[in-house]
Amino acid sequence: MSEGRVTEARARACANIALVKYWGKRDAARNLPAAGSLSLTLGALVTETTVRFDPGLSVDTMQLDDLPARPTDLAKVIAFLDLVRAQAGITTRAHVASRNHFPTASGLASSASGYAALAVAATTAAGIAMSPRALSQLARHGSGSAARSIYGAFVRMHAGHANDGSDAYAEPITSRLADRVRMVIAVVGGGAPKPQLSRGAMEHTAETSPLYRAWLDVVPHDLAVAEGALAAADLPALGAIAEANALAMHASAIAARPAIIYWQPPTLALLALVRDLRARGASAWATMDAGPHVKILTTLDEAEAIADAVRRVPGVTDVLISGPGPGAGTVST
């Protein structure tokens, strides 16, 4: 890009929900995960981000859902833009406008879609072409889960071993299950901002939880089972390992000192409902992230009936149904 003129690009990315969770880092400065993870990108949870490099700006600015970004969010975005500027060999400041089409910062993974969309929009506006793998590595600096949102449907994130993070990237996994699965998302508590952001919470878990080691030990097993289930298009096997893995992640966080408890009473009621539905023959498995919401993995055919059952649980304020979504990409401005 020429430093002298305004350049702009817009990108869209979908959030993803991990079926084998990322919870813990091996390098905080480079934001390298301690273990791999595996996720499903969701078409109903979309972030759209526009980046405009403008020689007339003296500082970076950002609007999130039409409001000025909070200073802590802006500082992270500036650090991310600095990475892009360094790669592009420019110093131009930018204006970023991002819009989430779902509740922000509520445990519905807005950082994943946000940084994936920002990676695509910022590199395009800066005039640098990047492979999807390189984009996943760039997005990872903003948020570990964002690396996965570069791709659609089922995605595997590799923790890697290299100190420079060159082997920590995401890649897509093809599975016939992509045509059949749905996620029913039960929003608990109105999508209010969550009390503890995942970045600090996973560091606190790693430092203080007596169960953290056991959590890290089980992830490679859970990844192997999940990948086998995807290869065999075996939804019950995928669902069972996803639910078990989410419970193990939360157990490690709950055992931190002081405890990190994301669950609220409706969360437990939803977990009981999911077990009950399963006992009656339904395809339904639960997973939870850094918030009180419950995401239920199910089939295209059963999603509506499960959503109806979920809506009747007191404390559930919204229910979304999503199928797999596409990878991140540019859209016209």
* Cβ 220 to ligand PMV shortest distance, Å: 15
Q: How far apart are CA 216 and CA 103, in angstroms?
A: 30
Nearer to ligand PMV, 55 or 196 (CB): 196
Nearer to ligand PMV, 256 or 277 (CB): 256
Nearer to ligand PMV, 126 or 253 (CB): 253
Nearer to ligand PMV, 198 or 322 (CB): 198
98 burial (CB, 10 Å; 0-12 / 13-18 / 19+) is buried
Q: Which residues bind ligand PMV (CB under 6 A)?
A: 18, 21-23, 37, 109, 111-112, 143-145, 198-199, 289-290
Nearer to ligand PMV, 9 or 187 (CB): 187
* Cβ 78 to ligand PMV shortest distance, Å: 18
* Cβ 111 to ligand PMV shortest distance, Å: 4
Q: How far apart are CA 3 and CA 184, in angstroms?
A: 46
DSSP assignment string, 60-122: -EEEETTEEPPHHHHHHHHHHHHHHHHHHT----EEEEEEESS-TTSSS-HHHHHHHHHHHHH
Q: How far apart are CA 284 and CA 273, in angstroms?
A: 10
Nearer to ligand PMV, 33 or 266 (CB): 33
DSSP 134: H
Residue 319 neighbours by CB under 8 Å, 6+ apart = 184, 185, 186, 187, 307, 310, 311
The CA radius of gyration of the chain, in Å to the nearest whole number, is 19
Q: Are strands 94-100 and 61-64 parallel, antiparallel or unpaired?
A: parallel
